């Protein structure tokens, strides 16, 4: 048997960067159609800010292997809606995932295929278990970058298409200075 070599990396806990990792940058322009307030989206699109960055260490898609990544989700809003990640289900829907809050303030919006939603606030030290079959998205509800670590099976894959098509049944907004989770009027069952 040939054994895979163990791996150790340092995560910069201030910036969320994993040196040597694959870097993905998502700007506002890559989230067209995701936010409710289209007018506010189009106004902010002139600047096309970076919404989040992902630093991933990925393995081959073998049974038993794990991938891990940090995400730096920047503060901001489109209208009342806080900046968020695209959100996804796993291509192999029976795969779970773990998230660990490193810095900042935010939360995890989770949803079953039928649209039952759960909101879990996150901060430094918060661990969120994403069960199989639940779509999930992170949201920055603070004023600084929200940084977290995700660990997931290497063969899980990502299904972004379902979220792009249907959205989430809930959205996370700021109203009167408070974080609120409200029904998404554009959600498609």
110-150 pLDDT, tens digit each: 999 999 999 999 999 999 999 999 999 999 999 999 999 99
16-42 pLDDT, tens digit each: 999 999 999 999 999 999 999 999 999
Contacts of 14 (CB under 8 A, 6+ apart): 103
Residue at token pair 């606030």: 121
- Collapse the DSSP code of 58 into the 3-class scheme (helix H, G, I; strand E, B; otherwise coil) and give the result: coil
pTM recorded for the entire structure? 0.95
Kindly state the average pLDDT of the residues 62-85: 95
Cα angle 151, 94, 154; round to 5: 35
64-75 pLDDT, tens digit each: 899 999 999 999
d(CA 25, CA 173): 23
């Amino acid at each position: 048997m040939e054994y895979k070599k163990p791996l150790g990396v340092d995560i910069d806990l201030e910036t969320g960067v994993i040196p040597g990792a694959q870097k993905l940058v998502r700007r506002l322009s890559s989230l067209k159609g995701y936010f409710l307030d289209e007018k506010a989206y189009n106004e902010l699109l002139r600047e096309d800010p970076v919404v989040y960055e992902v630093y991933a260490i990925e393995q081959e898609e073998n049974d038993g292997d794990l991938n891990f990544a940090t995400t730096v989700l920047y503060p901001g809003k489109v209208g009342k809606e806080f900046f968020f990640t695209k959100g996804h289900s796993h291509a192999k829907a029976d795969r779970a995932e773990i998230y660990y809050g490193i810095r900042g303030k935010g939360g995890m919006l989770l949803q079953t295929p039928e649209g039952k939603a759960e909101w879990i606030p996150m901060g430094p030290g918060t661990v969120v278990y994403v069960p199989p079959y639940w779509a999930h998205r992170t949201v920055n509800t603070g004023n600084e970058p929200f940084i977290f670590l995700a660990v997931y099976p290497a063969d899980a894959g990502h299904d972004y298409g379902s979220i792009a098509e249907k959205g989430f049944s809930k959205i996370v907004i700021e109203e009167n200075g408070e974080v609120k989770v409200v029904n998404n009027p554009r959600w498609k069952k």
